[in-house]
Chains A and B, each alone.
Chain A
Amino acid sequence: MLYACAAAIVAGLLQPHGSIGPMLLGSLLGIAVALAQSPGRQPYLDRCEQGAPLFGRELARAKALVPCIAAVVATAAYLAAQFAAGARDDGATLVVAPAAVVAATLTALSATIRHGWPRAFYVALAMATSIVAYALVAFGRSIPGELGFCALVSFFALRQYGEALARYDPVEGI
């Protein structure tokens, strides 16, 4: 998370204007943190979670918390850097950027238990979510539209991740 915040601060100082920076960089960082939760880094912890008496949706909510918090904190660091660099936006970015970042991060979680092209597909989908969210704000000029889109995507992404976890058979690497 520290690296993500540091990267966001540097980017915020270099690109102090507009919402595209915090939305896209925040999404990229959220995707990276989500992918860092892929099984295999801590095999024993993975087995603990896989063997725990938790429903897929409960596990999904628990596993979504850290990458979403990390992504939002990094986005906040970016916005703080923008403010320090003299940007004086209307404050809409404060609302739309975290929403897009959370939606992209939750979409990327479904990539963590997949390999090959399905994994790449979900990562691409996560980035596309962020781009669509930006387009709704920049071209559609609709903040409620963007927020509604992100809320809808977040809901279905988390639900889909929970369903995938419930069906997942963790036998890779055996």
Chain B
Amino acid sequence: MPLLRMRSATFAAFDASIGPISLEVSAGERLALPCASGREAAIVALLATGIAKASSGSVLVEDYDPRVQSVHCKRVAALVPHEPLDLNEAGFVRCIAYRAALWSVDGARALAHARLLLEKLDGMHEAFAFPLVAALIVEPKLVVLDRPQPAYAVQIADAVGTRAMLSTHASLVAARAFAA
């Protein structure tokens, strides 16, 4: 059973339509999806995590339809937003505690896990590492990255490990860095 299936999924935004998008991501698989624009990449990432619902076509996250069972979709998939997160140490600890509370994960364990991941991501700017770490502490099966930095492709893949990964990109060059 694929973790993520999109079949001719479209999203009708206020002034433009995104899609149709068709893709499949199975457990342990990695897919780098080049999109027509940064906006499309961002919206596809939201569709893949069940945060936004497709206007037509179908999106299934582990057989759950976000239009009906968005909670289950959000337990399976975690989004790493494109924007960097500029936080100091105290802010990062609060961020991890907040996410752990939202996902009902043990706070102390989440923080310990976060610190281990940060050590693993040594060499990656903290502002880009924090969102990735915050996504991984909730133990998702599928990690969806919205336009990740190509320069950190290797570290990101290493941190994601054996989890399935979908990355959306605004250019073919960026997608190739993650497809390699």
Interface residues of A (CB under 8 A from B): 43-45, 47-55, 166-167, 169-171, 174
Contact = CB atoms under 8 A, between A and B. Distances in A.
Given A43-B83, A48-B98, A174 B43 contact: yes
A47 B46 CA distance: 10
Interface string B35-58: 000010011001001011100000
A166 to B, nearest CB: 7
A171 B102 contact: no
Contacts of B11: 169, 171
A44 B85 contact: yes
Contacts of B52: 169-171
Interface string B70-93: 111011001101010100000000
Contacts of A47: 51, 79, 81
7 contacts: A44-B83, A44-B131, A47-B81, A48-B102, A52-B103, A53-B71, A171-B42
Contacts of B79: 47, 51
Interface footprint category on B: 20 to 34
A50 to B, nearest CB: 5
B72 A53 contact: yes
Interface of B: 11, 13, 39, 42-43, 46, 49, 51-53, 70-72, 74-75, 78-79, 81, 83, 85, 95, 98-99, 102-103, 131, 134
B53 A169 contact: yes
Contact of A51 (B13, B42, B78): B78
A53 B11 CA distance: 22
A49 B74 CA distance: 11
Contacts of A55: 71
B71 A170 contact: no
Nearest to A55: B71
A51 to B, nearest CB: 5
Given A43-B83, A53-B75, A174 B42 contact: yes
Given A43-B81, A169-B11, A169-B46, 10 more contacts: A44-B81, A44-B95, A47-B51, A52-B99, A53-B102, A53-B103, A54-B102, A167-B53, A169-B52, A174-B43
Contacts of B83: 43-44
Contacts of A48: 98-99, 102, 134
Interface centre among A51, A52, A54, A166 (most CB of B within 10 A): A51
A166 B70 contact: yes
A167 B85 CA distance: 27
A150 B95 CA distance: 36
A169 B103 CA distance: 20
A168 to B, nearest CB: 9
Given A169-B53, A170-B51, A53 B74 contact: yes
Nearest to A166: B70
A38 to B, nearest CB: 17
B72 A51 contact: no
Contacts of A169: 11, 46, 51-53
A50 B42 CA distance: 14
Contacts of B42: 171, 174
